[in-house]
A and B are shown apart, each in its own frame.
Chain A
Amino acid sequence: MNHSRFRYLKAEDIRKLAGFEFAPRLLAEGYLSGRHTSHLRGSSVDFRDYRQYVPGDDRALLDWRVYARTDRRYVRTYDQETNLECHVFLDSSASMGFGQPLTKLDYASFFAAALCYLVVKNTDRVSLQIFDEKIRHYYPLGSTGRHLQNLMHALESNQPGNKTSTAEALQRSAPLLKRRGTLVVISDFFDDPVAIFSALNPYLHRGFRIHLFHILTPQELELEDRGLLLFDDMETRQRVIAHTGNIRGLYKQAMDRHINSLRELAMRRQVDYLLARTDTHYFKLFDRLTQ
């Protein structure tokens, strides 16, 4: 498969990505027994450990010998080896079109393309959802080269859309995902952090492993002092006049508060959160995934 014809998946990137081993880090649940171990209890060949029996456990899993010796009820657990199901959520709201020379959407698309490539390359399955305030495109799970091609085409044809509503998109997507797996959300997260994590709660309850990639440009992280400007909102088209020299301090404080809020909520829920600046290479995000 010649991937160099895709805008967001270039041949030199594919070469560099060859060294990445994505799967060991991504503990996931798959429908096929395969290369990726899952600590979900079930029938498997690799014994994991014992644990106290609780009502509701399958009685077939009770270790009767232990019970006979100790008069205590223990069940045996096994590491289940399964394949990876990776669900990529790509924010394509209008705000993602911000950034020079590389927009946040471009940056996110590069990363999403590489991630899809890596998943498919390991014969795992990947899905792609492109959303703004609603789900604009949904590409279900697939692990074939054609599926990857479709995804690449989808990314290339994708344009920044309307307002951001990450929370709503996540809520709508929940019924579409049948099995637990890995959820990768790539967005600028210009949304209420509490609402975002409220939307993530169903996924967390279902055991999804969630990675949040917060894409921001340096200009968004720190306002440049360009004097008096008429700020034009890319999503709402609202305008406001402000002197960047006067507000940049407060803006930085507000942005830091927003990021810290996301980071704190993610930490509380054991969600992986990573702030990605568009002036750094997206490969560094894989470093985080492989840690």
Chain B
Amino acid sequence: MTFLFGNAALWPFLILLAVPLLMHLFARTRPPVYVFSSIEFIRRIVRFTLRIKRPKDWLLLLLRTLLFAAMILLFLRPVLFADRNLADPFGQKNLVLVVDATASMAYPDGAQTRFAAACAEASAILSGLTSRDTANIVWLKSAPEPVFPEMSANFTYLQDALRRRTVTVEAGAIANALALAASLLEGQKGRREICVLSDFQQSAWNDVRVSLPASLDLIKVKVGASEAVNQALTGIRADPPQPLVGEDVTIYSDIHNYSPQPMRKTVYLGVGESRLSQDVMAPAWNKATAVFQHRFAEPGVYSLTAHIGEDAFPADDRRASIIEVREFLRVGLLASEPVTAAAWRRALDSVGWIKTERLMSKDLAGNLSLDALLLSGWAGADNDRLRRLLQAGCALVYYPARESPVSRFAALSGPAVSGVEPGEGRDGGAHPSTGLFRWEQLHTPYTLKVTREKDELFSLFTRGEFGDFSRAAFHARFAFPVEALPAGDKLMAFDDGTPALMRFTAGKGMLYLWNMPLDPEFGNWPKRADFLPFLCELLLVSRGGGEQQSITRVLTGEGMMLELDREMPRSELTLRGEDAQAVPLRDIRGSSNVTWVADQPLNPGLYTWEHLDKPLAWAAVDFPVIESDLRTKTLQELDNSGAGAATAVRRGFTVRRLRDGVPLWPYLLAFATLVALAEGLTTLWAVKT
């Protein structure tokens, strides 16, 4: 805390403080002597009255001294600065205003939005600068940007920029903005100061750790109240993400309640031309999910849009996505071992919603678009290509070739097991045959048993309507070292515990190890009624890897881009929003491809890349969830946050008081008046008593 005096030349007048003291002393000068017969009574009276009068005297002396002190200080025009570092009104100041333009600043606190309040405060701060000072503004958003490339004294332009600026729907890169502000102040002479005007959302600022140079002063000006409430749609998804025609689809829409009270909200869902709605009770500070059931009659791409009734913060009340409804699953069949492949093919050909493609090994080199690939008698070749398919979300069913190395298979789902080479065991060759899928014929037929009954794969068979696996008998199988495989799920096993079906996760896809021979010579399962539903269920459960591949999701502020491997005239490619308006594009040309980028910030919603008015790809711009929680940090939390030696203040008078100091003369005048009044009353009291 520092005081500055506007009329420091009047300091010598402080000597006037001696006046009341002298008056007090002069008032005690020797009065006329009165020789009296006996002063015993008088002494007693004086002793008695002094007990009362002496405090009065001291009180009067105190009040008069205070009155003089207040009057002298009044003329000295003191100004109080709460922050000692800022108490230099006569030096040069370099100020960077970091104005929060993130989505949460659009929340209306009272008559104006937080952003408007921040801009007004920033403008007021700029008004207080002198011609010696320099300033700049950094907009805090996903990609912070300054108004001027360097510090400037053109405050009028900065204030005009504050008037013109609108709030974004983006999240903010706080650390980047502060670093940018610090870089703008580098090399500036005089006091260097960063003033952050923000609502200081807890969700955005909690984890911010900024290390600024010690020579920089950081002032945090808080706008907005901490009790803002909001409800937001934070997600929409379909299960399955790429359903088939006629398949039941479950659509989930998540609603978050950022308020201390449970809230009932109606979620409206648009699926293509259909409209659904559902009431959801969202608990306080938690989320709820609206669940919709739908069935598509025609294949195609449908838009999914969910929204809730608008609240005070409408930017996050809507979510959009697409759902691609397919007519059939595309299943590839690579038949190195013909008997098993024939059994699979017979089964798959009998299902209308599966389209089977017989592939050759060379086809793997092409750009395959498959939901599943069945490999029969596979010896482990083309692992890279298979891995690429797995990464793209394709399910692989692997029936190994006899005596093929286990390590080849293991390499598909994870890193190769070190030291295990074809024909070797893990123990360094003590059992050379253990590293292979060794064909083993059984004298006594083995049956199957389900080892993970709770798995989604078996949900159809729990009641026995679609058959019973345990009755299938096998006379042969592969014996292999399980420990040579990566960690996976043993879904089915033979009586002796040897895995019959294992599942591994690899990338977005799933990899199955099929150890159930379909040759009628070695088993009767292909002839059983439960074989076909099991195979179909396996393909349905495994499709897609849970991700929609046909839509790209980005957050607001992130660049919307489409990478094409061929040249295309700008006029042929269009990016359209839900309102069918075309978004300006620019292209970034690489060595072998062209990347098209949206040339303006995009609002949340669904966008379509079109080539010659035909949909090419879809993209959804999502509102950042972090901006929906409108709770803000308190000033104490801001003071204690790790952003260097910062001073946190509330907007308005507090900021001006911090920067320009508090002129104390009105307080001194009021104080002097009160003291004068008290002095008069005390005098009156003293006289009366």
Q: Kindly state the separation between the CA atoms of A229 and B42 in the bound complex, as whole angstroms.
A: 11
Look across to chain A and name the residue whose beta carbon is closest to the beta carbon of B33: A230
Instruction: List chain A residues, Cβ under 8 A from B33.
Output: 229-230, 232, 239
Q: Does A227 contact B (CB under 8 A)?
A: yes
Cβ < 8 Å to B, chain A residues 224-243: 226-236, 238-242
Q: Does A246 contact B (CB under 8 A)?
A: yes
Complex contact A190–B35 (CB within 8 A): no
Look across to chain B and name the residue whose beta carbon is closest to the beta carbon of A247: B45
Instruction: List chain B residues, Cβ under 8 A from A232.
Output: 33-36, 39
Instruction: List chain B residues, Cβ under 8 A from A241.
Output: 28, 31, 46
Q: Name which of A97, A164, A232 has the most chain B CB atoms within 10 A of its CB.
A: A232
Complex contact A98–B49 (CB within 8 A): no
**Across the A-B interface, the 4 shortest Cβ-Cβ residue pairs:** A98-B37, A95-B37, A228-B31, A229-B34
Q: Does B160 contact A (CB under 8 A)?
A: no
Cβ < 8 Å to A, chain B residues 48-74: 48-49
Complex contact B35–A98 (CB within 8 A): yes
Q: Does A29 contact B (CB under 8 A)?
A: no
Known: A188-B38, A233-B39. 9 other contacts (CB 8 A): A95-B38, A220-B37, A229-B34, A233-B38, A234-B37, A240-B43, A247-B42, A247-B46, A258-B41
Q: Could you say which of A164, A227, A239, A255 contacts B41, with CB atoms under 8 Å apart? A: A255
Question: Chain A's nearest CB lies how many Å from the CB of B56?
Answer: 11
Q: Does B164 contact A (CB under 8 A)?
A: no
Cβ < 8 Å to B, chain A residues 193-249: 217, 220, 226-236, 238-242, 246-247
Instruction: List chain B residues, Cβ under 8 A from A240.
Output: 39, 42-43, 46
Complex contact B41–A251 (CB within 8 A): yes
The binding surface of chain A is classed by DSSP as: mixed
Q: Does B443 contact A (CB under 8 A)?
A: no
Question: Chain B's nearest CB lies how many Å from the CB of A256?
Answer: 11
Q: Kindly state the separation between the CA atoms of A263 and B40 in the bound complex, as whole angstroms.
A: 20
Complex contact A242–B36 (CB within 8 A): no
Q: Does B566 contact A (CB under 8 A)?
A: no
How many A-B pairs have beta carbons closer than 8 Å: the answer is: 81
Q: Could you say which of A228, A250, A258 contacts B45, with CB atoms under 8 Å apart? A: A250
A and B contact pairs by CB, cutoff 8 A, 14 listed: A95-B37, A98-B35, A98-B36, A104-B37, A230-B32, A234-B36, A239-B33, A240-B42, A240-B43, A241-B31, A242-B46, A247-B49, A250-B48, A250-B49
Instruction: List chain A residues, Cβ under 8 A from B34.
Output: 226, 229-232
Q: Does B454 contact A (CB under 8 A)?
A: no
Q: Does A254 contact B (CB under 8 A)?
A: yes
Question: Chain A's nearest CB lies how many Å from the CB of B274?
Answer: 100
**Footprint of B on A, CB under 8 Å?**
95-98, 104, 164, 188, 190, 217, 220, 226-236, 238-242, 246-247, 250-251, 254-255, 258
Q: Kindly state the separation between the CA atoms of A104 and B35 in the bound complex, as whole angstroms.
A: 14
Question: Chain A's nearest CB lies how many Å from the CB of B621?
Answer: 89
Q: Name which of B28, B36, B46 has the most chain A CB atoms within 10 A of its CB.
A: B36
Instruction: List chain B residues, Cβ under 8 A from A238.
Output: 39, 43
Complex contact B42–A231 (CB within 8 A): yes
Q: Does B30 contact A (CB under 8 A)?
A: yes
Instruction: List chain A residues, Cβ under 8 A from B39.
Output: 231-233, 236, 238-240
Q: Kindly state the separation between the CA atoms of A230 and B43 in the bound complex, as whole angstroms.
A: 11
Question: Chain B's nearest CB lies how many Å from the CB of A287?
Answer: 26
Q: Does B44 contact A (CB under 8 A)?
A: yes
Instruction: List chain A residues, Cβ under 8 A from B31.
Output: 227-230, 241
Q: Kindly state the separation between the CA atoms of A95 and B41 in the bound complex, as whole angstroms.
A: 13
Question: Chain B's nearest CB lies how many Å from the CB of A239?
Answer: 8
Q: Kindly state the separation between the CA atoms of A255 and B45 in the bound complex, as whole angstroms.
A: 11
Q: Name which of A96, A217, A236 has the most chain B CB atoms within 10 A of its CB.
A: A236
Instruction: List chain B residues, Cβ under 8 A from A98.
Output: 35-37
Q: Kindly state the separation between the CA atoms of A190 and B44 in the bound complex, as whole angstroms.
A: 14
Complex contact B37–A254 (CB within 8 A): no
Supposing A229-B31, A241-B31 touch, asked if A251 and B36 sit within 8 A by C-beta, the answer is no
Look across to chain B and name the residue whose beta carbon is closest to the beta carbon of A94: B37
Instruction: List chain B residues, Cβ under 8 A from A96.
Output: 37
